Amino acid sequence: MLEVTGLHVAYGGIQAVRSITFHVNQGETVALIGANGAGKSSTLKAIARVIDAVGGDVHFCGEKISRIAPHDIIRKGIALVPEGRGVFPRLSVLENLEMGAYIRNATVEAKKDLKMVFDYFPRLKEREDQLAGTLSGGEQQMLAIGRALMSRPKMLLLDEPSMGLAPIMVQKIFEVVRAVAADGMTILLIEQNARLALQCSQRGYVMESGEISLHGDSAQLLDDPKVRAAYLGE
C-alpha cells in the first residue's frame, strides 16, 4: 500500500533522514522504532507532506504522492495523528471529530463513523460537549485518533501515541490501536516504547541517525540482541 524509496529529509544543513527505503502492505501494522533524533517523525511528516523531502519518492496505492499538495494527502486516504496530538483546544470534542470529516459529503456515513469512534472511545462520548483543551493528555490522544478515523482513511500514521501518558492510559490507547488494526486498518506506527510497538505490529524497522539499520518480523526484532540491548533495556 505504501512504498517509500530513497527518502531524504534535511533541515538546512542537517540531514534528518538519509535515503531510506521501506514499505507497508495493506492491512499491516508496521513499527518504526529508534531513539530520539533518529528521523522517525521526520519520515512521517514527509509522507504526509507536512514537510518537504529533499529527495526520494513516496507511492501510495500505486500512485506517486511525494509532490502533491499536503491538504490532498488526506483525500488520498492517509491520516496523520501527529506527535503532540494537535487538537483544536477551543473547539468541543464533537466539533474536533466533525473537523476530521470535513472532506466528506456523506453526512449519514459520517454519523455512522462518529458512532464507531464513540464505540472505540466511550470517554469521548461522555465529553462530547467539553472543550478539547480541557481534556487530559490521554483523552486528547483519543480525540486525535478519533478525528483521524473520521476521515475514513485507508492508512493511519501514528506518531508517538504513548508520549507523556500514564501507563494505564497507554494501555487503553493501544487496546484501541489493536482493535482498529483488527478491523482491517493499515497502520504505520512510530513509538519510542519499542517493546510495545513491536508487540503491536507484524513487522518493524529500526532507525539510527536517519538510516534504517535493521528490519524484519517484529517477533524477530524483539529477540534480536542488538534491539534488546539498545531499545528494550536488557
Question: What cell was used for 15?
Answer: 540531514
Q: Range of 161's domain?
A: 29-38+74-231
Q: Give the model's confidence band at 12: pLDDT under 50 very low, under 70 low, under 90 confident, else very high.
A: confident
> DSSP E strands: which ranges in the chain?
2-11, 14-24, 29-34, 55-60, 63-64, 78-81, 155-159, 186-190, 203-208, 211-217
Average pLDDT of 72-90? 94
**pLDDT exceeds cutoff 90 at 90:** yes
In a domain, 186, yes or no: yes
In a domain, 21, yes or no: no
In a domain, 10, yes or no: no
What is the rounded CA–CA span in Å between residue 9 and residue 132? 32
**pLDDT exceeds cutoff 60 at 203:** yes
Q: Which CATH number fits the domain that encloses residue 158?
A: 3.40.50.300
Mean pLDDT of the chain: 93
Q: Is 5 exposed, middle or buried (0-12, 13-18, 19+ CB in 10 A)?
A: middle
**pLDDT exceeds cutoff 80 at 144:** yes
pLDDT of residue 233: 66
Q: DSSP H helical segments within 89-163, as ranges?
A: 93-100, 107-120, 122-126, 137-149
pLDDT of residue 161: 94
Average pLDDT of 59-75? 94
pLDDT of residue 181: 97
Q: How far is CA 139 from CA 83, 133, 170, 196, 197, in A?
A: 14, 10, 11, 20, 20
**Poorest-pLDDT segment among 39-48, 174-183, 206-215, 223-232:** 223-232
> Which residue carries 533524533 as its cell?
37
> Which residue carries 501494522 as its cell?
29
In a domain, 1, yes or no: no
What is the rounded CA–CA span in Å between residue 95 and residue 166? 26
**Poorest-pLDDT segment among 12-16, 179-183, 202-206:** 12-16
Q: Please, what is the end-to-end C-alpha distance for the chain in angstroms?
A: 34
pLDDT of residue 106: 64
Domain count within the chain: 1
Q: Which amino acid is at 103?
A: I
**pLDDT exceeds cutoff 60 at 234:** no
What is the rounded CA–CA span in Å between residue 118 and residue 169? 17
The residue among 123 and 192 whose pLDDT is bigger is: 123
Q: What is the edge-to-edge ordering of all strands in the sheet holding 2-11?
A: 14-24, 2-11, 55-60, 63-64
Write out pLDDT tens, residues 154-184.
999 999 999 989 999 999 999 999 999 999 9
Write out pLDDT tens, residues 40-59.
999 999 999 999 999 999 99
In a domain, 78, yes or no: yes
In a domain, 61, yes or no: no
In a domain, 54, yes or no: no
In a domain, 116, yes or no: yes
